[in-house]
Amino acid sequence: MARYTLRQLAYFTAVADAGSISAAAAKLHVSQTAVAAAVTELERIFRTQLTVRRKAHGVSLTPAGSYLNARAAELLRAAEELELSTASGGRELAGPLVIGCYQTVAPTILPVLIEGFSVNHPQVGLDFVEGAQDVIQERLLAGDMDLAIVYDMDLRPGVGSVLLYEVSAYVLLPASHRLADQPDVTLAELAEDPMILLDAPPSSHHTLSLFEQAGVRPDIRYRTRDFELTRSLVGRGVGYSVLVQRPSVDRSYEGRTVVAKPISPAVRPVAVKMIWPESIRLTDRAEAMVAFAANAAPNTQHSPPGTGGGS
């Protein structure tokens, strides 16, 4: 029989996360004495020093403390899962589930997942976070979210993944552009035209790499971090853009016509993946979402450029 309690482990992990006993106590809404006593008792039970406590410098973990922190976090998650699943006799998933998503991918995939998964698992508290891909990955690995949806570019080490779908970059032109009636467009044909660059890594890195591979230096007139602003500027005839994600409508936010054209020669498709930290066991809710997303995402409408839609 274990001599430590889940409460003691929870207090210890709170100290590890907060960096001090006082901050952990404030977060837990308990006294500093209770938190300090829990850490001291764990050190007595495990017969090793878990923390180094310095006045005015907070608390740091020893190697043994770091090991315990990782294992304790796993145990606490398992205990929470047990409580949630037992409430429904293991018949129904329940509890929180947070998904991070790269900002330009979000409008395409998140509505599909939120609607479909919520219908199948109404007791799951599904929430999402949008943002830049590097920020999303950082927060995922920090434990702020369970899963994330990103491009298969610049991925951090230590993540597991499942392929959701693949899309190819295309050129977006205003309806009045001289190349709007061509079946496809080469990047060389656009070398002298002003470009609107969606400057949101890794999208911008991917776009510029396509021009580099084609031996073309684009004339970047404007840089934006907003997908719809990019499309609106193109719709106004300010320039062209190269994008990956594609709405099902061929109009900008203002209602102006935009035209999507495949790039010639054809470029390599970009994979969109759902990822998670390999070091953390997925909850039943997260596993269910991975399975659902892998099945639902390929059915999302991603019509190829030149067949009617624009973006």
Q: Where in the chain is the domain with CATH 1.10.10.10?
A: 6-87
Average pLDDT, stretch 122-151?
Answer: 93
CATH architecture of 6-87: Orthogonal Bundle (1.10)
Q: Which top CATH class is 95-167+270-299?
A: alpha beta
Of the chain, the percentage scoring pLDDT greater than 70 comes to 93
Does residue 166 have a pLDDT over 70? yes
Confidence of residue 303 (pLDDT cuts 50, 70, 90): very low
Average pLDDT, stretch 278-296?
Answer: 90
Does residue 85 have a pLDDT over 80? no
Average pLDDT, stretch 26-47?
Answer: 92
Asked if residue 260 lies in contact with residue 305, where contact means CB atoms within 8 angstroms, the answer is yes
Confidence of residue 84 (pLDDT cuts 50, 70, 90): low
Average pLDDT, stretch 187-199?
Answer: 97
Asked if residue 106 lies in contact with residue 203, where contact means CB atoms within 8 angstroms, the answer is no
Confidence of residue 93 (pLDDT cuts 50, 70, 90): confident
Fold that domain 170-262 belongs to in CATH: D-Maltodextrin-Binding Protein; domain 2 (3.40.190)
What backbone phi and psi angles, to 5 degrees, belong to 271?
-85, 140
Confidence of residue 233 (pLDDT cuts 50, 70, 90): very high
154: left (phi over 0), alpha (psi -120 to 50) or beta: left
Output the pTM of the full model.
Answer: 0.71
Burial of 268 (0-12, 13-18, 19+ CB in 10 A): exposed
Please list, in sequence order, all residues whose beta carbon lies within 8 angstroms of the beta carbon of residue 224, skipping any fewer than 6 positions away.
196, 197, 198, 199, 230, 233
Does residue 90 have a pLDDT over 70? no
Q: Where in the chain is the domain with CATH 3.40.190.10?
A: 95-167+270-299, 170-262
Q: Which of 5-9, 82-86, 159-163, 224-228 has the lowest mean pLDDT?
A: 82-86
